[in-house]
């Protein structure tokens, strides 16, 4: 107990990242930088166009703008430090920077789960209840659902991350990853972390499994409604309405399942880093491409006045 009492938090953490493969660091720097620029520019364009074009002041694009801002924030919380570590000899992050990183990544990850479920409900209302859509998805409800997503994610992050910060550390300041995550910080603790792990897994069920269940139920109703549409044109429009959201959900949950739900022995730690790199850097850019394509298609089809604006995207 005296030993634990004397433990203090390190001033810096060493992020080992990909230092075991130094020959790859230059290539990874270029790839990560490229995807980061694409993600920031693409998401920025989506936010700008969806806010400035009056034809896109709809619930669908309101939630897409939220999702784009979330992607920009998530990648920015991780990538700049990763680029600095890939480029320079030092692979460090300050204690405060590490804490901020896992607070933000936890917050935005939980927020995205709820936000994607909210977007699936919006698509359900648009296709299954088209005559009542504007009444159901009124601006106050959309704002309330978006705030609930952001505040819900913030609440679970504040609780779980704060419990992690309070853990006494054993003096080892090396993290064998390229960014700070709560499970990695728990591994450095000098005490039993069962309570922290339980607190982490219970919200994971609430913020991952339940939203995924709601998404599947919504798309079950949507699929049934689409089968009842007799015209090919009507089915095509219904499919285009949902295609970008389905792509986003598939990439997001596919990455989570591949990262966290595989048997422990099926993936080495080094492979896990590259999977995490795909999830944190590549996936937001790919999601951005799918959403931007749907945005261009919708505006060109329905808003001829905006075609010129998006032709260069």
What tens digit of pLDDT does each residue of 81-111 get?
999 888 877 888 888 888 899 899 889 989 9
Q: Are 68 and 291 in contact (CB under 8 A)?
A: yes
Instruction: Please provide the CATH number assigned to the domain covering 10-310.
Output: 1.20.1070.10
Task: Tell me how far apart the alpha carbons of residues 92 and 202 are, in angstroms, rounded to a whole number.
Answer: 31
Cα–Cα distance, 217 to 36 (Å, whole number): 34
Alpha carbons 97 and 82: distance in angstroms, whole number: 12
pLDDT in tens, 249-281: 887 887 777 665 555 444 556 677 777 888 788
- How many other C-beta atoms lie within 10 A of the C-beta of residue 260? 13
Please give the pLDDT value at position 4.
Answer: 40
What pLDDT was estimated at residue 76? 92
Q: pTM, whole model, 2 decimals?
A: 0.82
Query: Rounded to an integer, what distance in angstroms lies between the CA atom of residue 185 and that of residue 161?
Result: 10
The H or E element spanning position 219 is: helix 210-227
- What are the start-end ranges of the E strands in the chain? 12-15, 92-94, 174-175
**CA quadruple 127, 130, 136, 139: dihedral, nearest 10:** 90
Q: Cα dist. 225→22, 136, 189, 294 in Å?
A: 53, 18, 52, 21
Per-residue pLDDT of the chain (313 residues; tens, 9 = 90+): 334 434 456 788 888 888 777 788 889 999 999 999 988 988 888 888 888 877 778 898 899 899 989 989 999 999 999 998 888 778 888 888 888 998 998 899 899 999 999 999 999 998 888 889 989 999 999 999 999 999 999 998 898 888 888 888 877 788 888 888 888 888 888 888 888 778 777 877 888 888 999 999 999 999 888 888 877 777 777 777 777 788 788 878 877 776 655 554 445 566 777 778 887 887 777 766 656 665 665 555 555 444 443 334 4
Cα–Cα dist 258/209, whole Å? 15
Q: Which two tokens stand for residue 168?
A: 């006494």
Give the domain ranges of the chain: 10-310
Is residue 88 classed as helix, strand or coil in its secondary structure? coil
**Distance separating alpha carbons of residues 240 and 286, to the nearest angstrom:** 18
């Amino acid at each position: 107990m005296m030993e634990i009492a004397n433990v203090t938090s390190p001033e810096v953490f060493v992020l080992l990242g990909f230092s075991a493969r130094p020959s790859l660091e230059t290539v990874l720097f270029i790839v990560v930088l490229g995807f980061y620029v694409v993600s920031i520019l693409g998401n920025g364009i989506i936010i700008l166009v969806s806010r400035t074009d009056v034809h896109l002041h709809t619930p669908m694009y309101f939630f897409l703008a939220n999702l784009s801002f979330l992607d920009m924030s998530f990648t920015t919380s991780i990538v700049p430090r990763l680029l600095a570590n890939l480029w320079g000899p030092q692979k460090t992050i300050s204690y405060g920077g590490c804490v901020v990183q896992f607070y933000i990544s936890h917050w935005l990850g939980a927020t995205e789960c709820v936000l994607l479920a909210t977007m699936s409900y919006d698509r359900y209302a648009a296709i299954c209840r088209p005559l009542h859509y504007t009444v159901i998805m009124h601006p106050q409800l959309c704002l309330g659902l978006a705030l609930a997503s952001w505040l819900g994610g913030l609440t679970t992050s504040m609780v779980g991350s704060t419990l992690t910060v309070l853990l006494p550390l054993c003096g080892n300041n090396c993290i064998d990853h390229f960014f700070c995550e709560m499970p990695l910080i728990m591994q450095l603790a000098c005490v039993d972390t069962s309570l922290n792990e339980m607190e982490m897994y219970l919200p994971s069920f609430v913020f991952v499994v339940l939203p995924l269940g709601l998404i599947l139920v919504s798309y079950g109703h949507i699929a049934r409604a689409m089968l009842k549409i007799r015209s090919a044109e009507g089915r095509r429009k219904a499919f285009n309405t949902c295609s970008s959201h389905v792509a986003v959900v598939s990439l997001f949950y596919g990455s989570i399942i591949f990262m966290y739900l595989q048997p422990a022995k099926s993936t080495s730690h080094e492979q896990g880093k590259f999977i995490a790199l795909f999830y944190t850097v590549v996936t937001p850019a790919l999601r951005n491409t799918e959403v931007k394509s749907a945005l261009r298609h919708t505006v060109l089809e329905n808003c001829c006045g905006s075609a010129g604006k998006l032709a260069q995207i």
